[in-house]
Structure 1
Amino acid sequence: MDFSELDERTPRAIAGAVSRAVRSGDLAPGARLPTVRDVAADLGVSPATVSAAWQALRRTGLVVSRGRAGTFVRDTPTAWLSPRVRGLVGAGPERLPFDLSRGIPDPALLPSLGPALARVSARAATLAYHEEPVLPALRETLAATWPYPAESITVVNGATDAVGRTLEQLVSYGDRVVLESPGFPPFFDLVEALGAEVVPVAVDAEGLRVDALRRALATRPVAVVLQPRAHNPTGAAMTPERAQALASTLRRRRAAREVVPWIIEDDHSGAISVTPDVTLGTWLPDRVVHVRSYSKSHGPDLRIAAVGGPASLIDRVVARRMLGPSWTSRMLQSILLDLLTSPDSAEEVSQARRHYVGRQHAITTALREHGVVLPPPDGINLWLPVADVAAASVQLAAAGIRVATGSAFLADPDHAVDSHLRVTTGLVTPADAPHVAAELAAAARAQ
């Protein structure tokens, strides 16, 4: 590749040039990079300078070292990952001091499973295959805290499973589905896998924009998928006023005898969110499916979420599952029930919520001291605006910080340019916040 147009001969500049070549397609997946000595000779710099650039690229996951064989552009990740998720997991295997790219909760803030496990039967129960798929006690516990009276509630294997199974009952080939952009990458892939068309809508600090929804409704979508709080990636939270305005837009459509799309709400971080539990189901209970996940608050590996709404739709989801996994493990349901009803577990989750709030305030306060002014987000992620995504990613990797680039969160990542990074700041303790914020602020200005 050609380094002749480099204005600087620093590790950051060299790594940035390679990063741009990879992202533009000039360097294809699997391509071998020139040797450190060859690049050093071409640029008139020391091999150590080029080696530092190659090390930064490895940290971003763009390239991999294969020992004496050389350094190569990373191949496409495993085929069983959906296209946009591949972009999220492109980070290299090298361990960094701060891997803030994955959107996961802090394991240290999850409630202890020991007491719950001790109260679960030591043997898997012998049950009939066609018994009720949800433990009655768990359903009662869920219904008691549901944000609106849902006719039917069941449990499935996580929030994405809930959204996917609901869409499968609603979407036919060629239909349109409204999705937030930026939004959760697997939802884009899921809609496209169903043969449907994504209609992207914008969000702001108060959630899905009313004007964007109004325009999207002109395409006659069959469903709208939204995140009411702790929006991934932006950290936005829908206000009650915004929810009512969105509901009013949909109700006017009903009054005009137009088809009202189904609303699917993904409340993936509810128990660690600090904003009110808002739902359009307050005004449109017959068209809203609400999903409540416990991955961020109680543990991703529990693989369990509740989904509730009109019985006419939820029963179809349950019936389809009976032809596959049939039910979510009742042992896992028993563990979740214990965690939801145990005062000690509830206090642990409350403490986690307070920790996340403190961490978001600490990082945004420290960023403000460096001239980057952002409101504390809800949840565990921060949507950081940057001057140059590639340059910022490389600079952060060189500092030992891995982040996710914003393009994966867009409806059309191949043709849209986004100048943001998603940073899982919920993993940054207040003690580390000043250092991480200084690196984030410097990277935000990098070009």
Structure 2
Amino acid sequence: MSVEPVRAEASGAGGWFIADLADRTSAGIAAAVSRQIRTGALAPGARLPTVREVARELKVSPATVNQAWRALAAAGAIVARGRAGTFVGAPATTAVGRYQRLHPPSCSTFRIDLSRGTPDPELLPDLGAALRDLTRNQANDLAADYLGEAVLPELAAKVRADWPFRAERLAVLDGALDAVDRMLSTHVRLGDAVAVEDPCFPPFLDLLARLGARPIPVRMDESGLLPEELARAVTEHEASCLILQPRAQNPTGVSLTARRIRELSDVLHGADTLIIEDDHSAGIAAAPLRSLGSRLPGRTVHIRSYSKSHGADLRLAVVGGPAELLDPVIERRMLGAGWTSRLLQRVLLSMLDDETAVHAVTTARAEYRRRSAELRRALAMRGITVARGDGINLWLPVADENAAMISLAAAGIKAAPGGPFIVGDYPPTDHLRITISPLTDADLDWLTTELAAATTAAPTYRRIRRS
């Protein structure tokens, strides 16, 4: 729901109040105050009126204003100082994001890098054939058209054929993360609670932090999100949005089961929660796709990425869902990038139709599954159990994250720390994310030995773990 412009006026309390506000719910009030802060109408340190003063001016209950204030405080926009009153917070300093901590810039001298979470370049389809298929006339026709279809009709027809539910609207965006970013920026407001998987893909948490939204962790088991945890996020925290990865979840490799889809949809039935599904490993995931959109199509936006299956530099993801949810994203994008290159869309379409490229993706899927199984089997022979997963990542349990990272680095192995994936500050157990795409049969024996040793590596300091 859009919020009409507000005006700030002086109040008898020496602060300000907002008037002419169309959306007088707690979310609307929080959004209006947040806008005043972002535009500078409310300077850092400005004293806010009391909850009762705002409630009286807006003709709403104090409870409604109090809820808005709590959302703003949770996002760091305002600060309560007891009897002194409530004040606009100081601008937050930009901290190093989780994704940057996961992939810090460095001059790598590692023998093998298992930290990147990217596919094996040797297993990607050959782009050359698709580029040759893009004739000069086709290229010129597409490149010259500013006002053509944003999505190639042939590509739309191709992806609709196996979309997990009937999508009212399709869009092509610049990769899955771009799609998640645009959906969140359009539909999530400051102070909103957003349910996320725990562990979670770090960029999702970075995006929510920049929006001032509150991530609500939802734990998982081998079948996906725990229904009782999601119910808590929806009922107790009033989560307005849910972000999930339906298969080959990064970092755990977990895929949703059919039974879990039914259980989660039962939890979400009757709620207004927006569902954003990121199928980032489409094509290379062995598990069948199961979507909440099959049961809740009116509130589900599904994202299918082609980065891991066909190449990251294509920067292509197809997004499908209700027009009510996607049209605002599409309309806003027309004021900027406008559309994703139809030349690249044509290249992808060519590969989706080409038997050789299709065979390459099928081969990659089988090979990733084989490498993952071989590594898990070799670790099991050394007494290390790793839960079965899909895709290109393993979630390796270790006694201590830092000690394990140091142990592997000494052996010339780079891994991804588990900390950035954890929603809270103190994970109950430690893990590393291991990407299996660089693994070769020649590496298996020595690599497994070093990974097994790293799982039991002890820190040189006493660590206090909070429950």
Q: TM-score range by the shorter chain?
A: 0.7 to 0.9
**Deviation at residue 436 of structure 1 after TM alignment:** 1.2
Change (3 A) 1:157 1:130: same
User: What secondary structure sits across from 1:180 in the alignment?
Assistant: strand
Residue ranges of structure 2 left out of the alignment (5+ in a row): 1-92, 459-467
Give the aligned residue type for 1:206. Answer: S
Aligned to 1:428: 439
Task: Please give the per-residue CA displacement for 1:89-124, whole angstroms capped at 9, x wherever unaligned.
Answer: 126312322100110101111111010000114455
**Deviation at residue 151 of structure 1 after TM alignment:** 0.9
* 2:279 is the counterpart of 1:247: no
CA distance in 2, matches of 1:325, 1:244: 38
* 2:112 is the counterpart of 1:101: no
Residue 305 of structure 2 is aligned with which of 261, 280, 293?
Answer: 293
Aligned to 2:191: 174
Aligned to 1:224: 242
Conserved 8 A contact 1:158-1:293: yes
Task: Please give the per-residue CA displacement for 1:260-316, whole angstroms capped at 9, x wherever unaligned.
Answer: 201110000021111111001111110111000011111111111010001111122
CA distance in 1, matches of 2:248, 2:430: 20
CA distance in 2, matches of 1:114, 1:210: 46
Greater CA drift, 101-110 or 416-425: 416-425
Give the aligned residue type for 1:143. Answer: R
Please give the TM-score of this superposition, normalised by the length of structure 2: 0.75
User: What secondary structure sits across from 1:429 in the alignment?
Assistant: coil
CA distance in 2, matches of 1:388, 1:191: 28
**Deviation at residue 418 of structure 1 after TM alignment:** 4.7
Higher relative contact order (CA 8 A, sep 6+): 1
Give the aligned residue type for 2:215. Answer: V
Task: Please give the per-residue CA displacement for 1:228-261, whole angstroms capped at 9, x wherever unaligned.
Answer: 100000111111110111001111xx1xxxx420
* 2:215 is the counterpart of 1:204: no
CA distance in 2, matches of 1:361, 1:91: 31
Give the aligned residue type for 1:292. Answer: R
CA distance in 2, matches of 1:175, 1:81: 21
Conserved 8 A contact 2:143-2:343: no
**Deviation at residue 417 of structure 1 after TM alignment:** 6.3
Q: Where do 4+ consecutive residues of structure 1 move more than 4 Å?
A: 79-82, 415-418
* 2:161 is the counterpart of 1:144: yes
CA distance in 2, matches of 1:143, 1:236: 25
Change (3 A) 1:425 1:200: same
Conserved 8 A contact 1:173-1:196: yes
* 2:351 is the counterpart of 1:339: yes
CA distance in 2, matches of 1:197, 1:305: 26
**Deviation at residue 156 of structure 1 after TM alignment:** 0.0
Give the aligned residue type for 2:150. Answer: P
- Written as runs of structure 1 = structure 2, the 5 A alignment for 1:363-442 is 363-413=375-425, 415-416=426-427, 418-442=429-453
CA distance in 1, matches of 2:456, 2:311: 36
CA distance in 1, matches of 2:311, 2:322: 28
Task: Please give the per-residue CA displacement for 1:49-95, whole angstroms capped at 9, x wherever unaligned.
Answer: xxxxxxxxxxxxxxxxxxxxxxxxxxxxxx99961011111263123
Aligned to 2:29: none
Aligned to 1:237: 255
Conserved 8 A contact 2:195-2:242: yes
Residue 151 of structure 2 is aligned with which of 134, 144, 163?
Answer: 134
Greater CA drift, 393-402 or 426-435: 426-435
Task: Please give the per-residue CA displacement for 1:319-375, whole angstroms capped at 9, x wherever unaligned.
Answer: 111011000011110111111111110000000001001000110010011000223
User: What secondary structure sits across from 2:423 in the alignment?
Assistant: coil
Change (3 A) 1:80 1:95: farther
Aligned to 2:457: 446
**Deviation at residue 430 of structure 1 after TM alignment:** 3.0
CA distance in 2, matches of 1:351, 1:82: 38
Aligned to 1:68: none
Equivalent residue pairs, number: 362
User: What secondary structure sits across from 1:271 in the alignment?
Assistant: coil
Conserved 8 A contact 2:386-2:397: no
CA distance in 1, matches of 2:107, 2:403: 20
Residue ranges of structure 1 left out of the alignment (5+ in a row): 1-78
CA distance in 2, matches of 1:112, 1:444: 38
